[in-house]
Amino acid sequence: MLTIQEGTEESAPYKTFLQEKIRAYNDEQSPQHAKKRRTAVRPVHVMVFEEEEIVGGIYGEIYWGWLEIEFLYLPDSLRAQGLGSQLLNQIETLARPSGVERVLVTTFSFQAYAFYEKHGYETTGVIPDYPPGFSHYTLVKHLVPSSGSA
């Protein structure tokens, strides 16, 4: 007999169960998913230091011939000086020898949407009013392959 239960309490075991089942299904359907989980993810980053303290940087992961930018952060005092552009260019350059030809990033309208557009990223998806009063964007940039990339 099947039953359906609702819950709002701590749900870690439920989340883990569903996550494992979905990952197993994805691995069966897409060999790329299975490979990514086993060995294919390569982290890449460029950090900014002031003296010996980290003050900002950019972090992404390379897989499936893509670079996915997960984090780009600079404090207010270091913005609008070209440093963000330098970080973005450097991480794209680091990714190219791995065969990366496309970059994926998501951002909110209150974050760096205009910054990414200025650097050649094209909007591929928009969720308006997420969070309320703002929009969530998915952007992609096609890189020119470097000579000698595999």
Predicted model pTM: 0.79
**CB count in 10 Å sphere of residue 102:** 14
Distance CA 106, CA 84 (A): 16
**Edge-first strand listing for the sheet containing 102-108:** 42-50, 53-63, 66-73, 102-108, 135-142, 122-128
CA-closest candidate to residue 64, choices 44, 37, 36, 38: 36
CATH number of the structural domain spanning residue 138 = 3.40.630.30
Question: Would 30 be classed as within a structural domain?
Answer: no
CA 67 to chain centre: 7
Among 9-13, 49-53, 90-94, the range with the most confident prediction by mean pLDDT is 90-94
Residue 101 belongs to domain spanning? 40-142
Q: Please state which of the ranges 83-87, 100-104, 124-128, 145-149 shows the lowest mean pLDDT.
A: 145-149
Number of domains present in the structure of the chain: 1
Question: Would 23 be classed as within a structural domain?
Answer: no
Assign 37 a pLDDT band (cuts: 50, 70, 90): low
